[in-house]
Amino acid sequence: MTNGVETLRKVTYREAVREAIREAMQKDTRVFLMGEDVGHYGGCFAVSKGLLEEFGPERIRDTPLSESGFVGAGIGAALGGMRPIVEIMTVNFSLLAADQIINNAAVYLHMSGGLFNVPLVIRSATGGGRQVGAQHSRSLEGWFAHIPGIKVLSPATVEDARGMLWTALEDPDPVLIFENSGLYNMEGMLPAGAGAVDIDRARVRREGKDITLISYSASLFKSLDAAEILSREGIEAEVIDLRSLRPLDEKTFLDSVAKTHRALVVDEGWRTGSLAAEISARIMEGAFYELDAPVERLCSAEVPMPYAKHLEEAALPQVDKIVDLARKMVKADG
């Protein structure tokens, strides 16, 4: 604080994540980072650049190209009292470690009768929009949000990217953090004294009265842009940032729906069996009589992500699509 004014500084999302890792490693000698190319190369997305020189190879560990192997090693380290941060290059490759995550990390506490916690944090890039083809562009965080025994986070802002990690490391159970790869270059203002943040509450990022836009990660900013366009037409959209996908903070979005009486869920995952479907069901269960229109969902096209830029853009939720659908919902009974 300077003369009662909080000092802000501009950082990229990438820098915010790097700062979070550095701070955690400075605070606790049990914390270490492991994954493919996190050391000498500085990370596939340059998140860990410079950390090897600062902390050395014992705490910044390059691993073989074996997700099942190094996630398993992370589970073992967590059981042994360490606080590992395991980086899986992209969520697409998390499928190679699904057995370790779902059948081991998520169930040890239950299977041991409450004797063994697994304080493991797994970070992974997710999302499309970068022209890297179908095998590198999936949004599978909703799959993991289906699994009891783990927490699933999706920070959108630089403050959450900076602050969620330490809170996750303090959690006694596995936490998966999905960072949309399209956000790494995004700049935002970070308070000088930024620290840990909660990991179980959604946030209202924009107040409104006519419709609730529910989203997370990169789609949050598309929803905010759409809300700005809609406001010029006299439609005030409330924008909810889910932040945590498991557990879902349903109270925040149900309270919003009770105020606006309409809900549109924007989800980069596929529509069938999606996180958007779960949220829609919860609104129908918890706020049905508050609705003035059916809940709508805007998801990615149900195709493998195209490589061609114009097709990829067509496959993903975009601002104009959000605006068009929200406008129709509000004006349908206007």
Q: Hey, which residues are catalytic here?
A: 67, 136
3-state secondary structure the chain: CECCECCEEEEEHHHHHHHHHHHHHHHCCCEEEEECCCCCCCCCCCCCCCHHHHHCCCCEEECCCCHHHHHHHHHHHHHCCCEEEEEEEEHHHHHHHHHHHHHHHCCHHHHCCCCCCCCCEEEEEECCCCCCCHHHCCCCHHHHCCCCCCEEECCCCHHHHHHHHHHHHHCCCCEEEEEEHHHCCCEEEEECCCCCCCCCCCEEEECCCCEEEEECCHHHHHHHHHHHHHHCCCCCEEEEECCEEECCCHHHHHHHHHHHCCEEEEEEEECCCCHHHHHHHHHHHHHHHHCCCCCEEEEECCCCCCCCHHHHHHHCCCHHHHHHHHHHHHHCCC
